[in-house]
Amino acid sequence: MNVNQSAPPLPPFGQPQPIYPGYHQSSYGGQPGSTAAPTPYGAYNGPVPGYQQTPPPGVSRAPASSGAPPASTAQGPCGQTAYGQFGQGDVQNGPSSGVQMQRLPGSQPFASAPLAPVVSQPAVLQPYGPPPTSAQVTAQLAGMQISGAVAPAPPASGLGYGPPTSLASASGSFPNSGLYGSYPQGQAPPLGQGHPGAQPPQRSVPPQASSFTPPASGGPRMPSMTGPLLPGQSFGGPPVSQPNHVSSPPPQALPPGTQMTGPPGPPPPMHSSQQPGYQLQQNGSFGPARGPQSNYGSPYPGAATFGSQPGPPQPLPPKRLDPDAIPSPIQVIEDDRNNRGSEPFVTGVRGQVPPLVTTNFLVKDQGNASPRYIRCTSYNIPCTSDMAKQAQVPLAAVIKPLARLPPEEASPYVVDHGESGPLRCNRCKAYMCPFMQFVEGGRRFQCCFCSCINDVPPQYFQHLDHTGKRVDAYDRPELSLGSYEFLATVDYCKNNKFPIPPAFIFMIDVSYNAVRSGLVRLLCEELKSLLDFLPREGGAEESAIRVGFVTYNKVLHFYNVKSSLAQPQMMVVSDVGDMFVPLLDGFLVNVIESRAVITSLLDQIPEMFADTRETETVFAPVIQAGMEALKAAECAGKLFLFHTSLPIAEAPGKLKNRDDRKLINTDKEKTLFQPQSGAYQTLAKECVAQGCCVDLFLFPNQYVDVATLSVVPQLTGGSVYKYACFQVENDQERFLSDLRRDVQKVVGFDAVMRVRTSTGIRAVDFFGAFYMSNTTDVELAGLDGDKTVTVEFKHDDRLNEENGALLQCALLYTSCAGQRRLRIHNLALNCCTQLADLYRNCETDTLINYMAKFAYRGVLSSPVKTVRDTLITQCAQILACYRKNCASPSSAGQLILPECMKLLPVYLNCVLKSEVLQPGAEVTTDDRAYVRQLVTSMDVAETNVFFYPRLLPLTKSPIENTTEPPAVRASEERLSNGDIYLLENGLNLFLWVGASVQQGVVQSLFGVSSFSQITSGLSVLPVLDNLLSKKVRGLIDSLRAQRSRYMKLIVVKQEDKLEMLFKHFLVEDKSLSGGASYVDFLCHMHKEIRQLLS
Amino acid sequence: MATYLEFIQQNEERDGVRFSWNVWPSSRLEATRMVVPLACLLTPLKERPDLPPVQYEPVLCSRPTCKAVLNPLCQVDYRAKLWACNFCFQRNQFPPAYAGISEVNQPAELMPQFSTIEYVIQRGAPSPLIFLYVVDTCLEEDDLQALKESLQMSLSLLPPDALVGLITFGRMVQVHELSCEGISKSYVFRGTKDLTAKQIQDMLGLTKPAMPMQPVRPAQPQERPSVSSRFLQPIHKIDMNLTDLLGELQRDPWPVPQGKRPLRSTGVALSIAVGLLEGTFPNTGARIMLFTGGPPTQGPGMVVGDELKVPIRSWHDIEKDNARFMKKATKHYEMLANRTAANGHCIDIYACALDQTGLLEMKCCPNLTGGYMVMGDSFNTSLFKQTFQRIFSKDFNGNFRMAFGATLEVKTSRELKVAGAIGPCVSLNVKGPCVSENELGVGGTSQWKICGLDPTTTLGIYFEVVNQHNAPIPQGGRGAIQVVTHYQHSSTQRRIRVTTVARNWADVQSQLKHIEAAFDQEAAAVLMARLGVFRTESEEGPDVLRWLDRQLIRLCQKFGQYNKEDPMSFRLSDSFSLYPQFMFHLRRSPFLQVFNNSPDESSYYRHHFARQDLTQSLIMIQPILYSYSFHGPPEPVLLDSSSILADRILLMDTFFQIVIYLGETIAQWRKAGYQDMPEYENFKHLLQAPLDDAQEILQARFPMPRYIHTEHGGSQARFLLSKVNPSQTHNNLYAWGQETGAPILTDDVSLQVFMDHLKKLAVSSAC
């Protein structure tokens, strides 16, 4: 049975291949062959041909139905396509599907090629009777997913669905589903099984039942699985989704058998595959982007509302929404990886949606900034503010101006325009970029941002070729690349003087706590060697950065480490109320010249304070001192503060313990996130003016008021690291690793960032670690490769589709060698007059990044509850708008999600459940403040994994398999007690050990003979010489390498106390602190949407 | 008369006391008519190699308001073991230890030759001497180097158990911790911020373990080091350390822009030094030694801004009330000086710079605490080096010639009261029966504190006769004065020196001759000069001169012999004959004349004038001039322009300067190189003689005088020309003829003119 079923779906997969070529043919000629896809598809290959056959028909159809195929070619046209899937679904089920398919191809720039693939789709559809109503199908699918369990309902669903044809097919499949076990459909059955069994009915259940069950789901699924996949592949998904589907199935899905056998386990893949299916369908509509929407039958009672569905649902009411049927992040990620990970992302085309952050891909800069630098929530911006308001989709860009690039990608070229400095528009001051239009034979250029016509200075003049391009366009980075750097002239420097190379000042708390915990000794020891690795520019032999040292408790100790001294000299400043720098010469020194003195100093510091009994510390004066020191030296720089306790000593910035858990969930909760006094803001302002960036390492044993202490690092572009209850034995590796990384990373100092946009939109809001003294300039005392600035745009005029929208981010900074530079990133976006285009070109990860930052800033001024509600409302509005404008035809009871945003609910739920917005009992105020400020400057990849942790099964795949195992969804249900899992979210790393793990595994991993002997809370795996141990440790290392902070490992045993902590990260589950489970949240969201629609 | 001279000299040698009058007018009215007040110059610690201190404590009069010390003037009833206080007539029992006394077995203090006696107090543990160096680092490289060497050298001169501390300052003030090994550690203070003593102590971590403010000494030394040891260490422990530290001392590293003075935080540095000692060693002998190479330019106590284009205040500015910072700065240093005095510490200032360094504002620091003030051009001169070295010179017993934390108490018999004192002291505000209502100098008290003194420190003490005219003193009655000086000897012992002197009363009507004969015109001149100088603190210069003139005229009227309105008949007896001349030179001296002197120089001169003994003071008033020639041995000659002859070599000692002046011919000879020719060896000797003599003076003098070797027509000859009596000037040049001397280009009156006027005024009845 399975086979059979699988077979049909396969074909669709097969199609995808062809599709690719179709889409990208122009761009990737060889893809089909080259793509990894083939292999995964292997299994499906068979079917493929079938599709191919089909193609022709599809093709024919497509044109016919859509009529507008050509239109579709352009994404813009997608208006139709956008609606397409849905709209079409509504209108013309049968044709629509075909149309969609066609459109997809059509939408792609490459008309001819695409067609073929398109054709294929139809073929797919054909196989299934229902296909025609792809839209419906999708809807149905949705329903099905939900109802997955409901298999029995099929008939009902069939009834429910308008598109009988599809139903038919669907129904056909349904039965299968209903059969589950017996069913051939590996996928469907498992789903059903898992859900029905595992999930207890929920409130939503009744509705769910109604909505999804509609058999439609059952039917759809099947189709979806099969059909949808196909279409998906062929369409928008082509690139992304298809492969995903393909790939995913093979590993897990293939095992239909497995599904069959172990319903609980396997399901996920299945689901994923199904989902993709949806996507596919949707995708079908848009060529370029991923499928826009996926529909999920609303689990809700809403069903009742919907005439058609109601019927069927009723029977199912008790059933619950099938978790496997709802969109799976894992699946989406996998799909994207498979689809887009293998080809370089070429930035030449305007408005392209880049691969997901979780996908490894190479970027080729052909005129737009790499997504590593800039990612947008949408690559297609509504032309008018009305549209934007309607959609409620925030228009934001997440910018990481100094992002590190993989070694394969070249860092931005440095352009030197000599004395005259970079060429800029006279009016808006935008920098020369590839979008500037040269006119009058090259004597003038028109600014792409403000349309001002500027003269080209004689030394820059160059003739234009027949296309109006400058002849030297490809010789000049600023005319051909999305990202490049200018050497700044003296006009761009503070006080009109070229900057002096920056300095690092290490400021070490030497109070009792710091000394006793061993921190001081450890740190001093480490610094000795670490100083050899100060960041240097390019191939420079030695770093230009000078270093200085300060220790402090209640008073500050400065050190003179001038190279001519035999011994360092210590200068104590006790006047903390009025801080000043006691020395000039000898405080900031070149490491190499003063090596001996510095070593001597670092040797002596731990000794000097070994017997200290001073427990009080100051804080603000320390920063002030560092800042003053930099001021005196007239350079920018960075302070590394190592601090242990609440600064209660009498001094400016003195703090009191104001931790009060009673405030949680009250209107005053926001005060916990606000700084205690304004002194720190003032101080930060001064720091920024001096280009003094502050990195704070905290080692608290109790409340230290992170909210206040982190103000300065936050506003100066610095980082905060927190090591609660620091003990050398346990935390040394983590701290040292972070420290090394932090010290070594390349930093830009004294930076100002400005984002310019084409007329029509304007950057209005900024999130991140920086300071702003006006509304446009982002001032960053320091900016490193991990720091991200999220910028929100609003309309202030109309945009037009032809010109699109341009962004130019200019960052003026001082490099670590003291060179003043301008880094420019340009990005061109499309504009649309149809909402569907917007929804089709969105990036959920970026959206979540923005929304999280927005919400996390909101907690400073509003009660957390309000913030949460705002988020939910906004999300609902976004989805409702989509539903209303792009997918209206389906019944209201269905939950229809845009393909690009189908993960929005799950991710948003994770945000809502995060410790900042919904703290658990064990989360301290400091933790919340810490996370809050951390998230503020996270990039998209970091927020992605932070909110939805990666859960990797370690023992599932064969030991020999060295690749990273595919992740599973973050839910307890996915854990099998016979396995071991790794979970990471960028900050934490857990190794979860199931209670019934094989002894051999335990032995080879932990070196103990049984589960019970494993030390809970273990933070280091023993180094054992066996494959499994090596593999796991290797995996841990590679995970750590991917993150900007070292993740400390915690071994958690099943049923152990620590497991509570671990479970907090299983974000699809209901959390202890009251966070909704994914399923519940989805239901809730559906309800919200329905309310909005009605 | 010789007998009086001998008497005076004998008394001076024995007791270190010189009275203006050695026979005292017996009533208040008569005393006031004497013009020159009854007063004495007292050198409390006059070196007495022949006076071994006794190792017990003095016996005090039991009357609480009296507490006079048993002395040779007391009536003793050996049988009853009683003694009668000669000041209050209280009858006192001898303490048990004196049980064995008898006429033949007298304790030293009853023997007449022990009118001055020194007791050693055995109680309490000795407290170490403390030297706190406060060093300016805004110096030129070679200056700093020289200073560093001097300081390092000084370490070897200190007793091994002395505590030393180091504060350096420039833009910032650094208090160096001396105890640590390896890293040298210092506490740094902003140079612009005035801190209270409490803040300073908090910031230095000198939180006192709840110690009451009494000068507790027992058992403290053990604990104290733990508190303060970081900054003040026994020299033997940190000798090497400190030497290195001084060696590594760098010039103030803060850049000094063109056209600016370096920022120098002298005010804060001193404030911290004072605060540090205040918190750690109150009432223990300690010297704060400030070495500075320029004016304070920032923070409290700043004297001038850092703009070089604005010059430091001059007398002209001060008269025009144009010295912006002066009042505030003076107030700051006065406050510090008073605190320091209250703690029994003293402040020395060693200021070496070509320009002024703000001594005018800072003068009260040494003046009120008994510290030294040394002024030079550079630390790299022998003037500074030797002066500094001399501070650590030792007496015949191997002890430093310095004493600390002295309180000087004066007791008088009933007919007398104390009106005040002038010298490096502050009032302790102790009222008592013998305190006069009229103040002369620092008055209103019978006790003064002298935080730092040496064997030559001399105070002028002024008395008032209060005996009423109608209560005659019995014939042969004597007035007595007892001076009790508690101090910390440089050997760290506490000692008490008691001097009891008595003089006869005389009735002016009947015994004016006696009184006249017993007039000590030298002492009187110095005492009057001190009064005059003291007045300059509060009065305008011309007013002081007028006051002096009036006093002089009155004195002449009182004691001159003349016929009314006949100046030519005016005569003064021998005991007064020199006095007008002293006054003449005093009027011209830098103590009263500010012309040609900077405010700093005036302060410097006045500082020394107020503490030197009689001989030195007289030299200051009227410099000594010796003449060397082939005609005979060197001879003292008149301080007159007529003494400047071409074939003479002159040696002038003004105390502050030693000038060797080669007459025109001598200079020519020397230029011609005769001294190198064997046949003119006598010329060589002649040239050498004044050098040797000058050397002798240089060796003995503190502070080292400026040594000037010049010749006729040399620019430096001005030092001589400005001092001599301008008997020949461009005005009367031709009247006198060329050969007799060198004319002085001045409009100043000559002694001759002065005397003529004096006579005229004295004999006129108008006054």
Interface mutation target, options B172, B177, B184, B188, chain A, most CBs of A under 10 Å:
B188
Q: What are B23's strand-pairing partners? A: B504
Question: What CA–CA distance (Å, rounded) separates A679 from A712?
Answer: 10
CB-CB under 8 Å, B182 with A600: yes
Nearest by CB to A574, which of B187, B253, B254? B187
Question: What CA–CA distance (Å, rounded) separates B228 from B218?
Answer: 17
Question: Residues of chain A whose C-beta is under 8 A from some C-beta in B?
Answer: 555, 557-559, 565-575, 578, 580, 582-586, 600-601, 604, 607-608
Chain B residue nearest residue A564, CA to CA: B248
Contact by Cβ (8 Å): A83, A896: no
Measured in whole angstroms, how far is the alpha carbon of residue A177 from the centre of its chain? 35
Chain B residue nearest residue A597, CA to CA: B183
Q: Residue A810 is inside which H or E element, if any?
A: strand A805-814
pLDDT at residue A53, as a whole number: 39
The answer for residues whose C-beta is within 8 angstroms of residue A59's C-beta and 6 or more apart is A102, A115, A116, A118, A119, A122
Which residues of B are less than 8 Å from A602 in CB distance? none
Chain A residue nearest residue B181, CA to CA: A608
Nearest by CB to A568, which of B183, B250, B254? B183
Cα within 13 Å of Cα(A97), Cβ side: 41
- How far is the alpha carbon of A602 from chain B, nearest alpha carbon, in Å? 11
Longest Cα–Cα distance of chain B, Å, equals 84
CB-CB under 8 Å, B187 with A586: no
pLDDT at residue B612, as a whole number: 93
| CA dihedral of B18, B24, B27, B28, whole degrees rounded to 10 | -20
Which residues of A are less than 8 Å from B184 in CB distance? 567, 569-570
CB-CB under 8 Å, B184 with A573: no
pLDDT at residue A438, as a whole number: 92
Which residues of A are less than 8 Å from B193 in CB distance? 575, 578
The answer for residues whose C-beta is within 8 angstroms of residue B555's C-beta and 6 or more apart is B35, B36, B576, B579
Nearest by CB to A582, which of B180, B188, B248? B188
Question: What CA–CA distance (Å, rounded) separates B604 from B617?
Answer: 14
Chain B residue nearest residue A633, CA to CA: B254
pTM: 0.78
- How far is the alpha carbon of A820 from chain B, nearest alpha carbon, in Å? 26
CB-CB under 8 Å, A608 with B253: no
The answer for residues whose C-beta is within 8 angstroms of residue A577's C-beta and 6 or more apart is A621, A650, A651, A652
Nearest by CB to A574, which of B183, B184, B203? B203
CB-CB under 8 Å, B203 with A570: no
pLDDT at residue B512, as a whole number: 87
- How far is the alpha carbon of B189 from chain A, nearest alpha carbon, in Å? 6
Measured in whole angstroms, how far is the alpha carbon of residue A590 from the centre of its chain? 39
Q: What are A413's strand-pairing partners? A: A484
Which residues of A are less than 8 Å from B182 in CB distance? 567, 600, 604, 607-608
Cα within 13 Å of Cα(A599), Cβ side: 7
Contact by Cβ (8 Å): B74, B90: no
- DSSP code per residue over B681-739: HHHHHHHHHHHHHHHHHHHH-SSPPEEEEEETT-GGGHHHHTTSB-SSBTTTHHHH-ST
Question: What CA–CA distance (Å, rounded) separates B588 from A1022?
Answer: 97
CB-CB under 8 Å, A573 with B253: no
Question: What CA–CA distance (Å, rounded) separates A931 from B453?
Answer: 69
Question: What CA–CA distance (Å, rounded) separates A354 from A1017?
Answer: 40
Which residues of B are less than 8 Å from A566 in CB distance? 248
Interface mutation target, options A551, A553, A564, A583, chain B, most CBs of B under 10 Å:
A583
Nearest by CB to B188, which of A571, A600, A607? A571
Which residues of B are less than 8 Å from A618 in CB distance? none
pLDDT at residue A315, as a whole number: 37
Contact by Cβ (8 Å): A517, A729: no
Nearest by CB to A584, which of B177, B180, B253? B253
pLDDT at residue A433, as a whole number: 92
Measured in whole angstroms, how far is the alpha carbon of residue A641 from the centre of its chain? 29
Interface mutation target, options B180, B187, B251, B276, chain A, most CBs of A under 10 Å:
B187
Q: Number of CB pairs < 8 Å for A and B?
A: 69
- How far is the alpha carbon of B224 from chain A, nearest alpha carbon, in Å? 19
Question: What CA–CA distance (Å, rounded) separates A386 from A403?
Answer: 34
Q: What are B703's strand-pairing partners? A: none
Chain A residue nearest residue B244, CA to CA: A566
Question: What CA–CA distance (Å, rounded) separates B35 from B37?
Answer: 6
Nearest by CB to B183, which of A567, A573, A582? A567
Positions in chain A short of pLDDT 50: 1-293, 297-318
Nearest to A19 by CA among A42, A50, A52: A52
CB-CB under 8 Å, B185 with A573: no
pLDDT at residue A739, as a whole number: 94
Nearest by CB to B188, which of A566, A572, A604? A572
Q: What is the pLDDT of residues A877-917, one digit of tens each?
A: 999 999 888 876 767 677 888 888 989 999 999 999 998 89
Nearest by CB to B203, which of A575, A580, A584? A575
Question: What CA–CA distance (Å, rounded) separates A35 from A28?
Answer: 10
Which residue has tokens 């789709």? A121
CB-CB under 8 Å, B202 with A574: yes
Nearest by CB to A575, which of B186, B189, B253? B189
- How far is the alpha carbon of B385 from chain A, nearest alpha carbon, in Å? 28
Block mean pLDDT (10 aa), chain B, length 767: 80 91 90 92 91 90 90 90 90 89 88 91 82 94 94 90 92 85 84 87 70 41 50 88 88 89 94 90 90 94 92 91 92 94 93 93 94 93 91 86 92 92 93 90 93 92 90 82 92 91 88 90 94 91 91 92 89 91 92 90 94 93 92 89 89 94 92 90 91 91 91 89 84 56 78 90 77
- How far is the alpha carbon of A606 from chain B, nearest alpha carbon, in Å? 12
Which residues of A are less than 8 Å from B253 in CB distance? 583-586
Question: What CA–CA distance (Å, rounded) separates A193 from B483?
Answer: 116
The answer for residues whose C-beta is within 8 angstroms of residue A283's C-beta and 6 or more apart is A104, A231, A232, A233, A234, A235, A236, A237, A238, A240, A241, A242, A289, A290, A291, A292, A899
Which residues of A are less than 8 Å from B279 in CB distance? none
Question: Residues of chain B whose C-beta is under 8 A from some C-beta in A?
Answer: 172, 174, 177, 180, 182-190, 193, 195, 202-205, 248, 250, 253-255
**Exposure of A833 by Cβ count < 10 A (0-12 exposed, 13-18 middle, 19+ buried)?**
middle
What does the block give as tokens for A325?
């049927």
Neighbours of A377 (CB within 10 A): 27
Contact by Cβ (8 Å): B496, B409: no
CB-CB under 8 Å, B186 with A571: yes
Which residues of A are less than 8 Å from B203 in CB distance? 555, 574-575
Nearest by CB to B193, which of A557, A575, A585? A575
Nearest by CB to A569, which of B183, B187, B189? B183
- How far is the alpha carbon of A605 from chain B, nearest alpha carbon, in Å? 9
